[in-house]
Amino acid sequence: MQLNWFRFAAPANFYPLAGRLVPIFGVIAAVTVLIGLYWGFFETPDRLGGTNPQKEYYRIIFIHVPAAWLSMWLYVVLAGWCAIGLVFNTRLSYMMANAVAPTGALFTFLALWTGALWGRPSWGTYWDWDPRLTSELILFFLYIGYLALHSAIDDARRADKAAALLALVGLVCVPVIYWSINCPDPNQCAALHQRSSLTQMEPNILSAMLTMTFGLWMYSFASAFARLRGIILEREAESTWVQELVAPASREAIR
């Protein structure tokens, strides 16, 4: 059987598919997040020893790291849909980008917020102009800038293109965040933020963190598809299929 992927590039065909996907991703997200939280809070040690001793507050890791990863990953997804939109001029790609952006901004804010609450007990400060913290803050402003620029332009297709360009330029921020903790010589520069060393983590902590990441990633799918449905309806409001879908009975009754 040949599956025609381009069929779903049409908003009219993707709308019902997205409607079926939202509850599936939502249920997977809810179950994995609950497992991840249980694992993280009840199956992990209260204190960490080693070179980086931490007390109970390290449990912020189970929301902080997934939120930070997703903030970067969702920006890559956003820029990816923008690039596809600019190259192929497909309406649905821009709508996807638009649907992902608020969730990405949410996770960026969460990464900053949870990082501040983790920084206070471990570094003694909520905020510092550390390279990683600063570049993550810029990423948050990029999301806001993308959304603001899009809503500032009345014509939807021009808004799509202008905002897509901004999103693509802003993509430089993602590798900056990723490598912002690399400091070859501690005498020349200092980074407050710890390096992530997945291989040295306690297995239960690592598993709980990865479970939470997967759960919140699935949540991102659910929320992006739910938002996409609204965007499709708004933009296609004048089309026959939307009007038939919204009020089939009243059309028949009047006729």
Partner 1 sequence: MTEFFAQGGYAFYVWGAYGMALLLLALEIVSLVRRQRTILARIGRLVRMRARGGEQ
Residues that bind partner 1 (CB under 8 A): 41, 46-47, 55-57, 59-60, 63-64, 67, 102-103, 106, 109-110, 113-114, 117-118, 120-121, 219, 223, 226-227, 229-230, 233-234, 237, 242-243, 246-247, 250-251, 254-255
Residue closer to partner 1, measured from CB, 84 or 211: 211
Least distance between partner 1 and beta carbon 91 (Å): 17
Inter-residue long-range contacts of 109-113, CB under 8 Å, 24+ positions, other chains counted: 109/140, 110/63, 110/67, 110/71, 111/64, 111/67, 111/68, 111/71, 111/136, 112/136, 112/137, 112/140
Residue closer to partner 1, measured from CB, 22 or 177: 22
Least distance between partner 1 and beta carbon 103 (Å): 7
Neighbouring residues of 156: CB distance < 8 A, sequence distance ≥ 6: 235
48 pairs with which residues across the strands?
A: 54
What is the spatial distance between Cα 173 and Cα 194, in angstroms, rounded to a whole number? 19
Least distance between partner 1 and beta carbon 219 (Å): 7
Residue closer to partner 1, measured from CB, 192 or 233: 233
Contact in structure between 92 and 11 (CB atoms under 8 Å): yes
Residue closer to partner 1, measured from CB, 29 or 84: 29
Least distance between partner 1 and beta carbon 228 (Å): 10
Residue closer to partner 1, measured from CB, 172 or 237: 237
Q: For residue 164, what are the CA distances in angstroms to 97, 100, 132?
A: 8, 13, 25
